[in-house]
A = this chain, B = another copy of it.
Amino acid sequence: MNELKELGEFGLIDLIKQDTINDHSSVVVGIGDDAAVLLPTPRQLQLLTTDMLVESVHFKLTTTTPWQLGYKAIAVNLSDIAAMGGVPRHAVVSLALPQSTPAEFVTNLYKGMKEICRAFGVNIVGGDTVSSPHGLVINVTVAGEVEPANLVCRSGARPGDVVAVTGNLGSSAAGLDLLTAGEWEDFDFAWPLVTAHLTPRPQVKLGPVLAAAGATSMDDISDGLASEAHEIAKASQVGIKLYAKQIPLAPELAEAAGQLNKQALDYALFGGEDFQLVFTMEPGNYEALLAAYLDLPVVKVGEVVDADEGVTLVDEDGQAQKLEARGFNHFRQEE
């Protein structure tokens, strides 16, 4: 098996640049020149987002395959574009790799990236590949486009709006706990949760649909529902009331939480990396949305209220409690 130090940087680039363009009409120059050259769609706004994944912080190579890792590195960025109501178009990928990395690892990493890019018509148009003295680092930047009328920021929520999410929450964080605990393969309930953690499917198609239907604010759920609710509340200067009973949980989550001695709801509120969308919308528009799409996986989880009510959770007994913003926070020491 070839190691990178035998292949060299240019040999590596030749290895990965196949099958990187899925929408040829928008790429003038892809991988191989000083910069990619892209043809923008007229009268659209440009979106730009970037995410860095660091070995031992965001992933462990003992619990993810390179294919899954590549898939996820792209997925987390597509999710950010969807959360603005936009469509992802192009990705550039930086990799810092230990010299001893097998070439096969890198090609499998790229296979995962290419697979999700192909699924959503995204082009990989460039990158940078360098050596790393300690562990793997992946940085992906995605450029997208959004119709000006479809742009949704965090700041547009208004009191009276519905708060809704696009799918089950908490699965990814429970999946991570199962991976960390180990010996999860024997439990049927573990598979969907672990899969939700390793290869989250971003809501690329739903983002623009919700935007066009009148979402007043939107966020992707990367740090748990509580944290995202606080971000929308802060940016929009409103309060948010969530109902514990309405938060959608995968059927497997309760079983996993029992096994892990945790509360299922805590995973949904404070766990991260679900990459579902949370959005707010006027009730009339929300009803129209549900009527227009029969099988839409959206679930109402609360309401936008006045700022002075803050962010609260109404528990199973109907008691409203202040909801903390805690989620995963780099650099902050956990209690």
Contacts and interface: CB of A to CB of B under 8 A. Distances in A.
A141 interface: yes
B57 A137 contact: no
A8 B332 contact: yes
Given A46-B39, A96-B137, A134-B134, A84 B34 contact: yes
A99 interface: yes
B94 A50 contact: yes
A329 to B, nearest CB: 5
B137 A33 contact: no
A288 interface: no
A244 interface: no
Interface stretch (A125-133, A256-264, A301-309): A125-133
B332 A5 contact: yes
A83 B48 contact: no
A251 B91 CA distance: 42
Contacts of A9: 329-332
A128 B51 contact: yes
Contacts of A273: none
B146 A83 contact: no
Contacts of A29: 153
Nearest to A329: B9
A49 interface: yes
A42 interface: yes
A333 interface: yes
Given A10-B329, A48-B141, A51-B94, 16 more contacts: A5-B331, A5-B333, A8-B329, A28-B151, A33-B154, A34-B84, A34-B220, A48-B92, A48-B125, A48-B126, A50-B92, A50-B139, A50-B141, A57-B131, A57-B132, A96-B137
Interface of A: 4-5, 7-10, 12, 28-29, 32-40, 42, 44-58, 79-81, 83-84, 86, 90, 92-97, 99, 125-135, 137, 139, 141, 143-144, 146, 151, 153-154, 218-220, 235, 329-333
17 contacts: A5-B333, A9-B329, A32-B235, A33-B235, A34-B79, A35-B47, A37-B46, A37-B146, A37-B151, A38-B48, A39-B45, A40-B44, A46-B143, A50-B126, A50-B128, A97-B331, A133-B135
